[in-house]
C-alpha cells in the first residue's frame, strides 16, 4: 500500500499572541520526503508556525492537518508523527544525555529492546557516545542542540520540525546536520525547518516559504543552487518592511 504523498497541510492557520496577530491565514502543503525552508526576519512568525505544527500552540483560526487528520480533533497524533526541535530545546538539567534519550523515548511510547535500539541508533548518528553519561546541564550549546535533535528523531517521526537547527553548531556539525536532513528526506520523512541562514536553505531545501508580519509572502521551489535568486527574493520582502 502506498501512503498519500501529502503529510502536512495548513489551511488558513492563524494565531494571535499577546493580543496581536503573529500568524495570519497561512496555507502550506508539505509532502513526504520534501524539505521546506521557512524564512523571515525576526518576529515574522516562524516559531509560532512551527509551534502550531508541533502541537504546542493551538491555532485560533484555520486548520492544521497531519496525514489528513485535523490536529484540533486528534492532538495525540503529534506524539506519534512529529519530531520537534524547538528554538530553545528544553532540557532536564539533572538528567544525563542517556537518561534524556530514554525519557524522550518513553514519552513517545518506546520501551525495552525498541527503546534501546532507537537510543543506540541516535547516539551513533549524532556522535553522542562520549557525552552519554554527562549531565545535560553542563553541555555546550552545540551539544545541547545535538541532544535536542536526537530526541526529535528518536521515534522515527514522519514529520521533522526544526526551529533554527543550525544554531550554535560548529561548521563540522553544520555539514553533518545537512547530511542528516537529506538522509531523513531520502527515507521519506517530511522536514520543515526555520533558519536565518539563506545558504542553509539553498543547501538542503526543495522548497522555500518566506513569512513577513505573520503572512506568507512567497512560496516556491528552489531552482537548484540558485542562491542569488533566493537572496533577491528574501531581501525584497525584508526591505519592504523597512520602507513601510
Ligand atoms: N511568548 C510570546 N508571547 C507573546 N508574543 C510572542 C511570544 N512569542 C512570540 N511572540 C510574538 O509573535 C510574533 C511572531 O514571533 P515568532 O517568534 O513566531 O517569530 P520568528 O519569525 O520565529 O522570530 P525570530 O526569527 O526572532 O525567532 C512576534 O510579534 C512576537 O513578538
Q: Is ipTM over 0.85?
A: yes
Average pLDDT over residues 4-14: 94
Question: Element (H or E) spanning 161, and its range?
Answer: strand 159-163
Which contacts of 13-21 are long-range, i.e. CB under 8 A and separated by 24 or more positions?
13/49, 13/52, 13/59, 13/61, 13/62, 13/63, 13/64, 14/59, 14/60, 14/61, 14/62, 15/48, 15/52, 15/57, 15/58, 15/59, 15/60, 15/61, 16/60, 17/48, 21/214
Quote the pLDDT of residue 224: 60
Taking CA atoms only, the protein residue closest to ligand 1 atom 13 is: 22
d(CA 225, CA 203): 7
Cell 560548529 found at? 170
From the alpha carbon of 211, which atom of ligand 1 is closest? 21
Residue identifier of the C-alpha nearest atom 7 of ligand 1? 17
From 19, 41, 45, 166, the mutation candidate for ligand 1 (largest count of ligand atoms within 8 A of CB) is 45
- DSSP character for 189? -
Which residues does residue 173 pair with via DSSP β-bridges, in sequence order?
A: none
Q: What is the pLDDT of residues 61-104, one digit of tens each?
A: 999 999 999 999 998 888 889 999 998 878 899 999 999 999 99
Q: In this predicted model, which residue has the larger pLDDT, 168 or 53?
A: 53
Report whether pLDDT(196) > 50: yes
The pLDDT tens digits of the residues spanning 222-232 come to 766 678 888 88
Residue whose Cα lies nearest atom 17 of ligand 1: it is 47
Of 84, 67, 65, 49, which Cα lies nearest the Cα of 7? Answer: 67
In a mutational test of the pocket of ligand 1, which residue from 15, 20, 40, 43 has the highest number of ligand atoms less than 8 Å from its CB? 43
User: What does the angle CA 97 – CA 57 – CA 77 come to, to the nearest 5 degrees?
Assistant: 70
CA-proximal residue: ligand 1, atom 28 (nearest) = 43
- In three-state form (DSSP H/G/I as H, E/B as E, the rest C), the secondary structure along 191-203 is EEEECCCHHHHHH
The size of the chain, in residues, is 244
Which residue lies with its CA nearest to atom 15 of ligand 1? 43
Which architecture characterizes domain 6-91+157-243 according to CATH? 3-Layer(aba) Sandwich (3.40)
CA 186 to chain centroid = 16
Residues 15, 21, 25, 31, CA torsion sign: negative
Amino acid at each position: 500500500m502506498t501512503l498519500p504523498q501529502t503529510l502536512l497541510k495548513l489551511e488558513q492557520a492563524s494565531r494571535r499572541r499577546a493580543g496581536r496577530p503573529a500568524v495570519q491565514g497561512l496555507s502550506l502543503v508539505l509532502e513526504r520526503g520534501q524539505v521546506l525552508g521557512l524564512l523571515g526576519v525576526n518576529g515574522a512568525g516562524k516559531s509560532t508556525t512551527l509551534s502550531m505544527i508541533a502541537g504546542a500552540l493551538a491555532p485560533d483560526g484555520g486548520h492544521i492537518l497531519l496525514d489528513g487528520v485535523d490536529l484540533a480533533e486528534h492532538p495525540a497524533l503529534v506524539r506519534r508523527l512529529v519530531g520537534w526541535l524547538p528554538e530553545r530545546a528544553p532540557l532536564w538539567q539533572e538528567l544525563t544525555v542517556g537518561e534524556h534519550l530514554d525519557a524522550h523515548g518513553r514519552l513517545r511510547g518506546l520501551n525495552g529492546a525498541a527503546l534501546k535500539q532507537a537510543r543506540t541508533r541516535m547516539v551513533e548518528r549524532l556522535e553522542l557516545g562520549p557525552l552519554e553519561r554527562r549531565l545535560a546541564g553542563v553541555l555546550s550549546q552545540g551539544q545541547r542542540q545535538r541532544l535536542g535533535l536526537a530526541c526529535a528523531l528518536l521515534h522515527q517521526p514522519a514529520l521533522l520540525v526544526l526551529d533554527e537547527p543550525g544554531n550554535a553548531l560548529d561548521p563540522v556539525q553544520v555539514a553533518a546536520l545537512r547530511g542528516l536532513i537529506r538522509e531523513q528526506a531520502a527515507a521519506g520523512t517530511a522536514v520543515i525547518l526555520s533558519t536565518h541562514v539563506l545558504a542553509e536553505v539553498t543547501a538542503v531545501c526543495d522548497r522555500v516559504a518566506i513569512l513577513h508580519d505573520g503572512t506568507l509572502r512567497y512560496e516556491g521551489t528552489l531552482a537548484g543552487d540558485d542562491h542569488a535568486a533566493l537572496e533577491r527574493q528574501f531581501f525584497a520582502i525584508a526591505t519592504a518592511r523597512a520602507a513601510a
